[in-house]
Structure formats: C-alpha cells, structure tokens
Amino acid sequence: MLLCHLAFLPLVRHVPPLAAFTRTFFSSPISRSALRWGWHLNRRPLERRGSRRPDRQIGGSRSHSMESKTEARDPAAESPAALADGGKGVRLKLEEFNWDHSFVRELPGDPRSDTIPRQVLHACYSKVSPSAEVESPELVAWSESVAELLDLDPKEFERPDFPLIFSGALPLKGGLPYAQCYGGHQFGVWAGQLGDGRAITLGELLNSRGKRWELQLKGAGKTPYSRFADGLAVLRSSIREFLCSEAMIGLGIPTTRALSLVTTGKFVSRDMFYDGNPKDEPGAIVCRVAQSFLRFGSYQIHASRGKEDLDLVRTLADYTICHHFPHIEKMSKSDDLSFEVGVEGSLIVDLTSNKYAAWSVEVAERTASLIASWQGVGFTHGVLNTDNMSVLGLTIDYGPFGFLDAFDPSYTPNTTDLPGRRYCFANQPDIGLWNIAQFTATLSAAQLISKEEANYAMERYGDKFMDEYQSIMTRKLGLSKYNKQLISTLLNNMAVDKVDYTNFFRLLSNIKADTGTPKNELLVPLKAALLDIGQERKEAWTTWVQTYIEELVASGTSDDERKAAMNSVNPKYILRNYLCQSAIDAAEQGDYGEVRRLLKLMEHPYDDQPGMEKYARLPPAWAYRPGVCMLSCSS
C-alpha cells in the first residue's frame, strides 16, 4: 500500500486494504500487483544518440515530471496574486462575455432536450435549462477574484437582475446550457450512469488571457441525470461549497471556484441524517467556475457501455487533450520521453509516440500532487468516488468535507463512510491510486494505452505523491532535508495526544534553534497545542523537541528566516466545520455577514490578520454535535 510509506499508517484501525478495491466494472488489463505500492518497475530514461537531456525526463529524476513542465495549474496560476498581467484591466458586463461553447460544439449530444430521468446513450451531454423555482432571490456572497478571472466588472454584482440570472430564473445572454453525462465508482462499486443531476453548465467563455472558463449553476433544477432527486440544493451545503472553493485557492490548492451564492426564496425538503425525519430548508444555488468539470467518470461511462461507445472515449480524450492539455499535442520525438520498464528494462514506454499515454501520466501526477497538498493542510474530501475526481487535478464537489481538528489519521467527515472509513484522511493517497487505476483501465479498454503504459502512469502517481508529500512535510517543519524518523515520531505523538493539526504546526515555528534551552522550557512555545498531557507524555514531547532542535541547528537557517518560511506553508486559519456552521446558522436567519467575513478571512489564511484570532480557536463543545463535525451527503 502507498500508505506504508507514510509515518502514521500504524495508527489507522479497521481500514480496508487497497487490494480489496481492485475489482472494476470490466475486465481490466492492468496487473493487479500494480495497484499496490509494492511494485518495483525498472524504468530508465533512454539516452538520445549524441546527447542526453535529463531535464526532459519524466521518470528518471523524481524532480522532473510531466505535470511540472506544463501549464497544469491554470486555476491556481490565475489566483488573485497572479493576476498582474495585461488582462487585469478588462472589465466586462455579463452581456459582453466572449463565449466559446467547445464542449457542445465538438462532442456528441443527447438528441432529446427533456428532463425525464433516463439512460442517455452515445452522448457526452444533454441540453437542458435551469428550472429551479425562484421567488425574490438574494445575493448572499460573491467572489471578486473569480470575477477577475472572467474579466467581469465587479459592479455587475450590484445589478438588480444578478440574483435572477445566477439562480437561473433569467437566461445569461450568449449561454448554451447543458448537463454532462458521466458515471463512476461510488465507495468502490460501479454505479453506472450518474451525471449532472442538479448542476447545469451555462456555457464556456474565453477571457482576455485566452483561458477557458466554464460557468455552472449547482442546484438549478432537474436534468435527465437527476434520477429520483429534485435537482435542488439547500443553503447549508451551498455555503459550505462556496466558502471551501475559495478557501482552498487561498491555501494554494487547485480547486474549482465559486463566483456567487444566491438564495432561491423557496424551501427544499431534506432528510439531513437519513433517519426518516426530513425538514424544509432554504434553497440556494452556487455558480461554480472551472476550466472544465470533466471527471474520471466522464470517460468511464462510455467504456462501460461496450464496443459501441468505446470510440467516445477516444473522442472525449482528444477533445480534452486539445483544449486542456495542448502541450501534449506539441510533443515530438526530440523531447526524448522514452522509458525502459518491466524486468531489467524488457519493455519500452515512449510517451512521445502515444499522446494518450503522456496524458494519463500527467493526470496521474496532477492527482498525486493534489492529494499530497490535501494531506499537508489536513483536508479530507469525504467522497472520493471516481465521479468526484477532476481530470484536471482540481478539488471538485464539496460535500461532507472536513479539515482535521485533533490529528486523527482515521478521521472521516462523511457519516456514510463510517462503516469502513474508505475515504478517511489516511486512506486518501491510496484511494487516489485506486481511482487512477480505474481511469487507466478505461483508456486501456478503449485501446488508447497499453498495459505497460497504464502501469507506468500508476508508478508515476506513486513517485509524484511521495516527492510532494515529503517536500511538504519537510517545509512544514522548517527542515533542510526530509527526516522520516523525526516526522514519524511527531505524527505518532500528535495522534496519541489528539493535538490540533493546524495550530500545532503554526506554533512550531516559534521553537528556537538553541540547544542550550533549559529542558523545562522546551515545550513552552507549544503550550497552547499540548493540552491536558501527563508527565509521561511531556517526556515524550520533550525528547522529540530536543531532537528537532538538533536538526534545526544542523540546517544553519536563522530563526527568523525559518519562521517566515514555515508560516508561509502552515496556515493560521482553515475552514473548520464549526466556522461554516456558525455562518450557516446566521444565514438561515437572513444574516449573511458571517459568510462574507469568512470569505475575506480565507483569502489570506497564512497571514496573522490581527483582530481575527478567534477564528483560529479550537472547536467549541457544540461543534461535535451531529451535522457539524460529521455530515451526510444530503444537500
């Protein structure tokens, strides 16, 4: 298992092994042994005649990868801090968007336009318009940084018809709405067709920097993929999605974005705890924004339907590479991306001769990098089904997510996940690999990649994850090099004493690199995090801090320089579930001030932000009630 390389694996209990999840919905050509983090494929970059170019290797040196050489992180790259280019001065009205509906234009669609639940065959989407009932909708919150991505004038938020347009009650001029068709594995079981059951894309636009953005309303009404649901969303879950989308970009983690959140003025019935006691809740709609909402399941659905639809996998892959991975189309033999794999280099994988193989490697690496970044900040997605995995490597579909409070590797924020904790915090790296296995199996079934290429993509996932995770943990501790034993002992100590994950690492930067510090003063900088520990545990922590200080002294970095560096990777503020709930409680009474304050706070989570210290406090006792610390998928 991948997690056997993580320091805290021994702490996980009753977590089903990865091998139990290796069954797929069709006979996979991928070696089952490659699904475990125990394989050892020999891979050596082939030398070009006359010269060697190690800077172009994917697999030779772990410091170089397909993902690192691309424009892979467009959403993060266009974060507020990165918007200092010429396009920043463009300010458009809604009617002036530069629409370019490539998905609808280039891919096959459903010939029907009704919303009757059904199997949609031989199609990537169904044209459908928002249909949620609306009565005096209100704008709850909005993101000016997302507006900047779209070249949207912030004054447009003040328009009286803005809530009507972004609740779907009025059409957005130039838009071409549709719902996407996809399938997925849910909790390890193939679920068949799923699709956008309540999300309706308004269309795609190109901004002044040539970046493609898709606008999507979540909770906008029924589609052919709604099955037995109503296609709606409630304010409770919509606030969580809106805030976490923007909080993640503040943390520097790739994510879908959120432009706006509006109430519908109508109530929606939801059984929050699945206990037979539904109640009416305020309805709401989030406008989500991403360069694409394509998921692993977008390709799986067509492969699952047999030979007749296998060509759709290729068609959709070609579309994706053309519009979202164009650098792959431009590769040539001169790039020298060939690798020996297998026993003693018996096989060759040449990524320049098969764009689909190169693409699968990049998808694997982006996914690995994403999940490593989650582990770094203590984020648990909660529902890592293959239909919730972005092919662009974005965090997508915020349901019962949660950030760690007390460090617990087996933590899951999803009540539905409790029996097996498949999607718990510590399992996320392995689940990412399992999902990549399903994705590469899909490409293999469509004869786009070989068994060896599929195995290589999964190997790159493992290498990339370990590289990223070790780098993140090294920087979180302010070390000059990775120290597995030091980090392993730390995480074990944190789990034993239920230490707050975020606050501890923030306080850790206060430790001085001074071996002369009296023993009884070593834990003073960590006092606010090490609560209610006995003498035996104090001794364990003191021993660890002494070893840590020795490492700091050996690095030669000044205390001030190290503190600044550590505070730039250890956030002071995270979107704890109780903070979300406080904003939800106020919003359900018509007070949206707390939602807006949290939005501003989470824009700069690494800054001290004087006067906002209360938002860094530990959860109060009421935060552990059902519906706050853990949630269901009901939204």
For the ranges 79-93, 143-157, 254-268, 471-485, which has the lowest average pLDDT?
79-93
Residue 633 pLDDT grade (very low, low, confident, very high; cuts 50, 70, 90):
low
pLDDT at 355: 96
Interval 540-567 mean pLDDT: 97
Of 244, 237, 263, whose CA–CA distance to 168 is shortest?
263
CA distance 281 to 236: 8
Interval 253-282 mean pLDDT: 91
Q: Indicate whether 439 pLDDT > 80.
A: yes
Interval 298-324 mean pLDDT: 96
Q: Indicate whether 622 pLDDT > 70.
A: yes
Active site residue 559: no
Task: Using only the alpha carbons of the chain, give its radius of gyration.
Answer: 24
Q: Indicate whether 45 pLDDT > 80.
A: no
Q: Indicate whether 301 pLDDT > 80.
A: yes
Residue 67 pLDDT grade (very low, low, confident, very high; cuts 50, 70, 90):
low
Tokens of 222: 């029924």
**Active site residue: 196, 387, 405, 430, which one?**
387
Q: Indicate whether 49 pLDDT > 60.
A: no
Q: Indicate whether 69 pLDDT > 90.
A: no
Q: Which residues pair with 215 in a beta bridge?
A: 203, 289
For the ranges 68-77, 335-344, 402-411, 510-519, which has the lowest average pLDDT?
68-77
Residue 88 pLDDT grade (very low, low, confident, very high; cuts 50, 70, 90):
low
Buried b (16+ CB within 10 A) or exposed e, 146-172: bbbbbbbbeebbeeeebbbbbbbbeeb
For the ranges 63-67, 120-124, 169-173, which has the lowest average pLDDT?
63-67
| SS3 track for 532-599 | CCCHHHHHHHHHHHHHHHHHHHHHCCCHHHHHHHHHCCCCCCCCCHHHHHHHHHHHCCCCCHHHHHHH
pLDDT at 276: 78
Percentage above 90 pLDDT, the chain: 77
CA distance 299 to 310: 9
pLDDT at 625: 78
Q: Which residues pair with 279 in a beta bridge?
A: 270
Percentage above 70 pLDDT, the chain: 82
Interval 421-435 mean pLDDT: 97
Tokens of 465: 């994850």
Q: Indicate whether 290 pLDDT > 90.
A: yes
| φ, ψ (nearest 5 deg) of residue 103 | -60, -45
pLDDT at 273: 66
| 469-505 confidence digits (pLDDT tens) | 999 999 999 999 999 999 999 999 999 999 999 999 9
Higher pLDDT, 142 or 87: 142
Interval 116-133 mean pLDDT: 98
Residue that has been written with the tokens 């915020």 in this structure: 398
pLDDT at 272: 75
pLDDT at 346: 52
pLDDT at 182: 98
Mean pLDDT of the chain: 87
Q: Indicate whether 84 pLDDT > 90.
A: no
Higher pLDDT, 343 or 377: 377
Instruction: Let me know: does 472 contact 569? Beta carbons within 8 Å.
Output: yes
pLDDT at 337: 65
| 185-197 confidence digits (pLDDT tens) | 999 999 999 999 9
Residue that has been written with the tokens 């001290």 in this structure: 608
Residue 82 pLDDT grade (very low, low, confident, very high; cuts 50, 70, 90):
very low
Q: Indicate whether 78 pLDDT > 60.
A: no
Q: Indicate whether 43 pLDDT > 80.
A: no
Q: Is the dihedral of CA 407, 409, 415, 419 positive or negative?
A: negative
Residue 76 pLDDT grade (very low, low, confident, very high; cuts 50, 70, 90):
very low
Q: How far is CA 142 from CA 154, 213, 605, in A?
A: 9, 17, 18
Higher pLDDT, 312 or 415: 312
CA distance 35 to 22: 7
Interval 379-395 mean pLDDT: 98
For the ranges 41-55, 98-112, 219-233, 239-253, which has the lowest average pLDDT?
41-55
Residue 308 pLDDT grade (very low, low, confident, very high; cuts 50, 70, 90):
confident
Residue 520 pLDDT grade (very low, low, confident, very high; cuts 50, 70, 90):
very high
pLDDT at 65: 65
Q: Indicate whether 539 pLDDT > 70.
A: yes
